[in-house]
Amino acid sequence: HLRHGSYATIRGAMKKLLIIGMGNQAKAWALNLKDSGWEVTVALRNPDLHRTLLASWGVQSIALNSSEKITDD
């Protein structure tokens, strides 16, 4: 339950999101979140297989075992 005014604070903090895997809902989730102002990254075992497709959606991809930092501090 959010108290009055707290949603704006939480909403302002939402910037980046990581989706793990490329299931049957990946496109819907990624595009919906991107359209809502999120910076979406999809982590995959082999991101090269889907890199062109994800780029066409405007979504980044990284290797699942990557140590790349995608979150804000």
The pLDDT tens digits for 1-28 are 555 555 555 555 667 888 988 889 989 9
Residue 53, pLDDT score: 92
Q: Residue 51 CB: number of other CB atoms within 10 A?
A: 15
Confidence tier at 30 by pLDDT (50, 70, 90): very high
Q: Whole-angstrom Cα distance, residue 55 to residue 9?
A: 30
Q: Whole-angstrom Cα distance, residue 72 to residue 41?
A: 13
Query: Which residue bears the tokens 């895997």?
Result: 21
Mean pLDDT of 63-72: 69
Q: Which two tokens stand for residue 54?
A: 């994800």
Q: Do the Cβ atoms of 35 and 46 come closer than 8 Å?
A: no
User: Which residues are paired to 20 by β-bridges?
Assistant: 43
